[in-house]
Chains A and B, each alone.
Chain A
Amino acid sequence: MQLILNAIASAAVLAPAAIGFTLIFTLFRYTNFAAGALMTAGAFAAWQMNDLGLPIWLGGICAVAFASGLLMLSDRVVFEPLRGRSGGTLLLVSIALSVIIDNVIRFAYGTQIRAFDLPLRPPLTYAGLRFTPETLSVIGISVVATLAVGALLAFTRLGRALRAVADNPSLSSIRGLPVPRIEAAGILLAGALFGLSGTLAGLDLAIEPNLSWALTIPVIAAAIVGGLGSPLGAALGAVIIGLAEELTVAFISAPYKGAVGFVVIALVLLLRPQGLLGRAVERK
């Protein structure tokens, strides 16, 4: 049971970012390897605000805004000029972007490990489970965010338009949709989700520049397992990755945790290229 709770907590950290990654993938058909770096940038933004005296929830909001703006900026500077290039090219560019963001963070903050300034509270126990109040917040915030994005995509005008553009951008322009504006909204939303995940990671884990590497692969794995389509799929993918990681820690050895994402990606690509929930992704 403790294992399942831990898995859900890791899933809660990964889920918003996995949804953001899925959003970028469906809109632009590339693997944004900078997911972890953007999350880390968000975590540091939240830490910085927290360090300046803002309460952590305000720091989180700043992180959401910061990561959103950072993804938008990187899109305008690097991805937009390369629109239409192959997914492989954009993957390489996003790896480079990730390295740049990581190093800027390292340069500014060093490799020291940091944590949010949170009131010290004893862990709670309930039905034999041990958890911190932060764990509960992480899970709660993540569930709310996942449902909110799901509802946005399913029921709002912007959500429909985002799905339409992801489905067929050319037809979208023909039908009078302002595609660049809708794409921009998608980028801002995805960036915000990276920032949120970064803040949650900061609550759940330690804040350090190496966070980036620890997060990127699980996020991408969760998105792929989830089928690269719906936000609920991505959230479910996050739960599966969280479980796989906790099982690895429990039954194999903690250092292998980092390999779980790679193994899961390889397995999914071999056995079920469309993901667990997804339909085949159309190649263009």
Chain B
Amino acid sequence: MTRLTLDHLNVGYGGADIVKDISLSVGSGEIVAIIGPNGAGKSTLLKGLAGVARVTSGGLEVDGTDLVPLSPFERAIQGVAFMPQDRNVFRTLTVTENLETSAWGHDDIRARMDEVIALLPTLSGYLNKAAGGLSGGQRQMAALGMTLMSRPTILLVDEPTAGLSPNLVGEMLDVLANLTRHAGIGVLIVEQNARAALTRADRAVVLVDGRLRRVGPAAELAGEPDFGALFFGDHA
């Protein structure tokens, strides 16, 4: 079942479009990885989906609902959870407070917290620390936990493994993969750890200069001999 549909989507910040002509769909229980060089527009694409950057033309739907006219808040209510690449936690709040605040409007916060901590058990080691004082990896864990507090149907995650130790990279991606399959959510993930992401993703897209360079099954892309070139955007 298709959850998220992008139809010839263009996204920008008010000037020229940064991301151009993206058509893509993400199904229920599916992980789609976005890879590409720095500055390709990966974050801009996710921001456009979350409503933080402006969709200048094209269609964007979640479960049949047109997202384009909706604010970031309204998109969140529609089940879209976006984990930004940076400034993704409330630094002056504790980790517990960050999680609680991310389930505003729900009265089963305790149950959701337990659920998220069960998924990301390392969180329990620093629940009472101010998020501003966390290490990079701890912060990413907290930020991912916050996105899960809303029990999203669409998860947009921007480099969640940045700053994580190598063993935690695999762990976090596995958590995402399991969650995706079991809860039937659709995941769009931007990853620098391309190989690690491709082993968990169903499909992958390569974004270069704001355009989709390649779309295909993750395993197929990972196996291509010129994978490195694709990833780094060389015009080889």
A binding-site residues for B, Cβ under 8 Å: 157, 160-161, 163-164, 166-168, 170-179
CB pair B87 A171 closer than 8 Å: yes
B231 interface residue (CB < 8 Å to A): no
CB pair A175 B101 closer than 8 Å: yes
CB pair A179 B87 closer than 8 Å: no
CB pair B90 A164 closer than 8 Å: yes
Task: Given A170-B52, A179-B73, verify A161-B101 contact (CB < 8 Å).
Answer: yes
Expressed in whole angstroms, the Cα–Cα distance for A152 and B2 within the complex equals 43
B168 interface residue (CB < 8 Å to A): no
CB pair A173 B90 closer than 8 Å: no
Name the one of A168, A176, A178, A179 contacting B90, with C-beta atoms under 8 angstroms: A168
Name the one of B76, B88, B89 contacting A176, with C-beta atoms under 8 angstroms: B76
B150 interface residue (CB < 8 Å to A): yes
Supplied contacts A170-B72, A174-B76, 7 more A-B pairs, CB within 8 Å: A160-B97, A160-B101, A164-B93, A173-B73, A175-B146, A176-B73, A176-B77
- Return chain B residues, CB-CB under 8 Å to A171: 84, 87-90
Expressed in whole angstroms, the Cα–Cα distance for A167 and B90 within the complex equals 6
CB pair B50 A175 closer than 8 Å: no
Name the one of A157, A172, A173 contacting B71, with C-beta atoms under 8 angstroms: A173
CB pair B82 A176 closer than 8 Å: no
Residue of A nearest to B98 (CB): A164
B17 interface residue (CB < 8 Å to A): no
Expressed in whole angstroms, the Cα–Cα distance for A167 and B87 within the complex equals 10
- Return chain A residues, CB-CB under 8 Å to B23: none
Interface size on B, residues (CB 8 A): 26
Expressed in whole angstroms, the Cα–Cα distance for A173 and B100 within the complex equals 15
- Return chain B residues, CB-CB under 8 Å to A176: 73, 76-77, 102, 104-105, 150
Shortest distance from the beta carbon of B70 to any chain A beta carbon, whole Å:
11
Residue of B nearest to A175 (CB): B102
B91 interface residue (CB < 8 Å to A): yes
B92 interface residue (CB < 8 Å to A): yes
Residue of A nearest to B143 (CB): A171
- Return chain B residues, CB-CB under 8 Å to A168: 87, 90-91
List 17 contacting pairs A-B, 8 Å CB cutoff, sorted by A. A160-B100, A160-B101, A163-B90, A164-B90, A167-B92, A167-B93, A168-B91, A172-B101, A174-B50, A174-B52, A174-B82, A175-B102, A176-B76, A176-B104, A176-B105, A176-B150, A179-B73
Residue of B nearest to A170 (CB): B52
Shortest distance from the beta carbon of B147 to any chain A beta carbon, whole Å:
8
Task: Given A174-B52, A175-B150, verify A163-B72 contact (CB < 8 Å).
Answer: no
- Return chain B residues, CB-CB under 8 Å to A178: 73, 104-105
CB pair B87 A175 closer than 8 Å: no
Shortest distance from the beta carbon of B34 to any chain A beta carbon, whole Å:
18
- Return chain A residues, CB-CB under 8 Å to B91: 167-168
Expressed in whole angstroms, the Cα–Cα distance for A171 and B102 within the complex equals 10
Within 8 A of A (CB), among B77-122: 77, 82, 84, 87-93, 97-98, 100-102, 104-105
- Return chain A residues, CB-CB under 8 Å to B97: 160, 163-164
CB pair A161 B87 closer than 8 Å: no
Expressed in whole angstroms, the Cα–Cα distance for A160 and B102 within the complex equals 10
CB pair B92 A173 closer than 8 Å: no
Task: Tell me which of B71, B97, B104 has the highest count of chain A C-beta atoms within 10 A of its own C-beta.
Answer: B104
Shortest distance from the beta carbon of A157 to any chain B beta carbon, whole Å:
8
Shortest distance from the beta carbon of A1 to any chain B beta carbon, whole Å:
38
- Return chain A residues, CB-CB under 8 Å to B72: 170, 173-174
Expressed in whole angstroms, the Cα–Cα distance for A117 and B225 within the complex equals 89
Expressed in whole angstroms, the Cα–Cα distance for A160 and B93 within the complex equals 8
Expressed in whole angstroms, the Cα–Cα distance for A102 and B102 within the complex equals 42
Shortest distance from the beta carbon of B10 to any chain A beta carbon, whole Å:
21
Residue of A nearest to B75 (CB): A174
Task: Tell me which of B52, B84, B87, B92 has the highest count of chain A C-beta atoms within 10 A of its own C-beta.
Answer: B92
Shortest distance from the beta carbon of B67 to any chain A beta carbon, whole Å:
14
- Return chain B residues, CB-CB under 8 Å to A164: 90, 93, 97-98, 101
Expressed in whole angstroms, the Cα–Cα distance for A168 and B131 within the complex equals 13
Shortest distance from the beta carbon of B91 to any chain A beta carbon, whole Å:
6
- Return chain A residues, CB-CB under 8 Å to B88: 171
Expressed in whole angstroms, the Cα–Cα distance for A160 and B98 within the complex equals 9
Task: Tell me which of A163, A171, A178 has the highest count of chain B C-beta atoms within 10 A of its own C-beta.
Answer: A171
- Return chain A residues, CB-CB under 8 Å to B98: 164
Expressed in whole angstroms, the Cα–Cα distance for A173 and B104 within the complex equals 11
Task: Tell me which of B72, B84, B91, B101 has the highest count of chain A C-beta atoms within 10 A of its own C-beta.
Answer: B101
